[in-house]
Structure 1
Amino acid sequence: MMMKKTLLATALISMFAAQGAYASDETAELRKIIEQQQKVLQDLERRLDETEKRVEKTADVVEESASESKSATTIGGYGELHYNNITNNKTGKDKKEFDFHRFVLFVGHEFNDSTRFFSELEVEHSISGEGQNGEVELEQAYIEHDFNDMFTGKAGLFLMPVGIINETHEPPAFYGVERNPVEKNILPATWWEAGLNLNIQAAPGLAFDGAVTSGLYVDESYSIRGGRQKVSKAKAEDLAYTARIKYTAVPGLELAATAQYQSDLTQGRAGVETASATLLTAHAIYTIKGFTVKALYAQWDIDGQEAETLGRDDQNGYYIEPSYRFNESFGVFARYNEYDNNAGNSDDTKVEQTNVGINYWLHENVVFKADYEKVGGAKDADGFNLGVGYQF
């Protein structure tokens, strides 16, 4: 009996010892597993930290890229090729020629939402240089800044705020192969100066412009078009002051009027009498469905005895142009022009010109044009013009 008890005790001790050893092994194993899981968690935490840092860095890059995307440089331009077949019934000097009249490149840059640069470089008549017909001209180069929603300023070389075609003259934007003679000879488009301009958006559809710029520099002929200096070492003895009001609050309607004053058109030129000058011009554009009518009047009053003697103290003109656009591709127009650069004398120097024709838009930015032209009054000519133009 004693022997059995001894054997039983020995067996129980062995069993508990085995279980203790097993438990000890199991605890060690669990500790090892826990340590491994802790390492995994620490690694995951480290990776999450790195991922978060990368996400933050990516967000910074995206934000920076978005900011930089507002600072964009753009390139554009326009051009037009003309064929003129005009018979001069007075002089016999007919005009029958092809001419790549204009090749223009725009370069603009937006520094941010409120400040931008714009420029326009033009080659006229294909080739420039001594003995050539063409010119290379810088027509625009200015900085524009929005002070707020109401005030925008320009500083540099810019188109004058006058007339219809002076600021908007890309070929797909107007009818007729050649630009109208009234704005060409009276205003005179295309007309640019250097200086400052402030645009005021006084109310929805109501805007004012005020500019202080270089002015015209005429010789003894008092030719307005010939007085453009094109900001090439331009004389600045007497600046020009320009103001415009523009109304577009009614859909389809545009009304505008401009006044300019220059105290001396001759800029102190030797041998030419001082002559102050005032320009007044107004225009209206009304569009309803496919029908549009444009009308413009312009007049120079020059105060000077020599200008009066030549009949150049009064130079004026007007035109009216109805047109109808059938669809995106076809449109027809008629335009009556009348102008006189010697309206101050009693001679019959008035020129009358009528154009009728068609525009065909191959694309909204590509146009083919054809028109018939009849010139009367002080001149006598007739013929036709063909042209192709583009903008991008």
Structure 2
Amino acid sequence: MKKSILAACILAGVSSVPVLAQDDADLREALAKQQKEIETLQARLNVAVDKLDEKQAGTESNTKIGGYGELHYNNTDGGDELDVHRFVLFLNHKFSDSVRFYSELEVEHSLVGEDGPGEVELEQAYIAHRLSDTSVAKYGLFLVPVGILNETHEPNTFYGVERNPVEKNIVPTTWREGGAGLVLHPKGGWQFDFAVTGGLNVPTTGGQAYLVREGRQKVAKAKADNLAFTGRVKFTGIAGLELAATMQWQDDVTQGVEGVEATLFSAHGVYKKGPFELRALYAAWSLDGAGAEALGRDEQSGWYIEPSYRLSDKLGVFARYNEWDNEAGNSADTVKEQTDVGINYWLHPNVVLKADYSSFDGALDGHALNLGVGYAF
């Protein structure tokens, strides 16, 4: 009997082995299937994360922030002054390879308000639309294509604490207008700029009457009864040389008050060879009107020449002679003269310390010592 029971147990155990083996195989197959599904899900998750990272990285690289600023100390015959002359922020965005946005927001003289001398101004805000490899259209608020400093005036790019008086009073820098423009870049180092914009609105009474600088409307509810038409040709086809000429015509710079037609002509040259650089500019306005003629302001012109020399990568010296007259149409001697000498010391290519001495002659008389720090990023 005992032998029969033992034999039955052995038989049952032996017969169950295939069943257990089958269950183990099924379990291994299920685990392998789940592992494969997990790996597939992980791969999909990795792809999704990579795409998200690419999108975020693309968004960050497409929007750029920059700016520049200047602190000035001026010791003049009229007293001493310390001023955060300007602080500017750039915000640029790339919508696509052919459509981009550029802007500049500027704070002048630090304090803005009822008791403050400063201003907050929108200097640029425009869309650049690349039409082809050689042409770009502009729509919005942009800088007028004229002179040397009007389009490039970060403090690390020029000599002297203050911007030169000719481009300030005659061009007049910084000069921006709202409208549309076209820039053409054919081969051979040529560039052609065309713009149709809002124009000047010069005052016709008071001490500032017919002064072109006072006619800038800064596109702040600007009167646009009479638009301005600007054209520039620039040549940079020879290494180290830039030559450019600009003309602007406006049917009436008083925007319907007196009917004063105005024409601007400006030409400049920049030559750079090794450590030596030479800049020169001439600009002249012609205003057609009895009121402007009576004040001698029917002709307003000026010029300057500026040699400079880089003694090292960090240190440079310059001299500049400026001559301008906003009443060149009269017979009196109203020419203003200014001679500047000074140094720039670059702590970094985008950070500069400046010092210069200015002597005023002609219709002006006096001198000034100027110190400054400027930066761009």
Q: Calculate the TM-score normalised by the size of structure 2.
A: 0.89
State the shift of 1:34 in Å.
4.3
The answer for the alignment partner of 2:351 in structure 1 is 366
State yes or no: 1:162 paired with 2:135.
Answer: no
Q: Which residue of 1 aligns with 2:172?
A: 188
Cα 1:387–1:51, aligned 2, differ >3 Å: closer, same or farther? closer
2:218 is the counterpart of 1:230: yes
8 Å CA contact retained: 1:340, 1:351: yes
Q: How far apart in 1 are the matches of 2:50 and 2:131?
A: 30
Counterpart residue type for residue 157 of structure 2: A
Aligned CA distance change for structure 1 residues 129 and 21 (closer, same or farther; 3 Å): closer
1:225 aligned counterpart, secondary structure: helix
User: How far 1:300 moved relative to its partner?
Assistant: 0.8
Distance 1:172 1:66 in 2: 30
- 2:138 is the alignment partner of 1:138: no
Correspondence for 2:275: 290
The aligned counterpart of 1:262 is 250
Match of 2:67 among 55, 77, 81: 77
Does the C-alpha gap of structure 1 residues 84 and 63 become closer, same or farther in structure 2, counting only changes over 3 Å? closer
Query: For 1:320-354, what per-residue CA distance to the aligned partner results, in whole angstroms no more than 9, with x for missing partners?
Result: 10001122211000001111111122211111111
Are the counterparts in 2 of residues 70 and 112 from structure 1 also a CA contact under 8 Å? no
Counterpart of 1:103 in structure 2: which amino acid?
A: F
One-letter code aligned to 2:38: R
Query: Which residue of 230, 233, 236 maps to 1:242?
Result: 230
For 2:219 and 2:26, how far apart are their aligned partners in 1? Answer: 82
Q: 1:35 to 1:279 in 2, by over 3 A?
A: same
Aligned ranges 1:33-112 → 2 under 5 Å: 34-72=25-63, 74-87=64-77, 94-112=78-96
The partner residue of 1:279 within 241, 260, 264 is: 264
Which piece of structure 1 moves more, 319-328 or 97-106? Answer: 97-106
Give deviations 1:164-214, integer Å, cap 9, x for gaps: 111111111110111101001101111111111221222263221111111
Contact 1:70–1:111 at 8 Å: present in 2 too?
no
Contact 1:70 / 1:113 at 8 angstroms: preserved in 2? no
1:320 to 270, 281, 305: 305
User: Quick one: distance in 2 between partners of 1:379 and 1:164?
Assistant: 24
Q: CA deviation at 1:387?
A: 1.4
SS in 1 for 2:265: strand
Matched, 1:389 2:377: no
Residues of 1 paired with 2:47 and 2:288: CA distance?
A: 70
1:355 Cα deviation from its structure 2 partner: 0.3
Equivalent of residue 357 in structure 1, options 342, 345, 356:
342
Distance 1:23 1:127, change over 3 A: closer
For structure 2, the 5+ residue unaligned runs are 1-10
What SS does the aligned partner of 2:283 have? strand
Q: CA RMSD in A?
A: 2.5
How many angstroms apart in 2 are the aligned matches of 1:196 and 1:181?
A: 28
The answer as to 2:285 corresponding to 1:300 is: yes
Separation (CA, whole Å) in 2 of partners of 1:318 and 1:181 = 9
The whole-number CA distance in structure 1 between the counterparts of 2:295 and 2:200 is 18
Change (3 A) 1:126 1:49: closer
**1:64-122 residue CA offsets vs partner (Å, 9 max, x unmatched):** 345434432x33222222222223xxxxxx24322222222222333333323222222
User: Aligned to 1:147, what secondary structure does the other structure show?
Assistant: strand
Alpha-carbon distance, 1:380 to partner: 1.6
Q: Is the partner of 1:234 in helix, strand or coil?
A: coil
- How much has 1:63 moved relative to structure 2? 4.3
Counterpart-to-counterpart distance in 2, 1:65 and 1:266 = 50
What is the alpha-carbon distance in structure 2 between the residues aligned to residue 53 and residue 96 of structure 1? 68
Q: Larger Cα Rg: Structure 1 or Structure 2?
A: 1
Which residue of 1 is the match for residue 201 of structure 2? 217
Residues in 2 aligned to 1:44 and 1:103: alpha-carbon distance in whole angstroms: 60
Whichever residue aligns with residue 49 of structure 2, its letter is T
Residue range with higher mean Cα deviation, 203-212 or 51-60: 51-60
Deviation of 1:21 (Å) = 10
CA distance in 1, matches of 2:129, 2:61: 15
Cα gap change, 1:100 to 1:69, in 2 (>3 Å):
closer
Whether the 8 Å CA contact 1:246–1:255 is kept in 2: the answer is: yes
Shift of the 98–46 alpha-carbon distance from structure 1 to 2, 3 Å rule, reads closer
Match of 1:153 in 2: 137
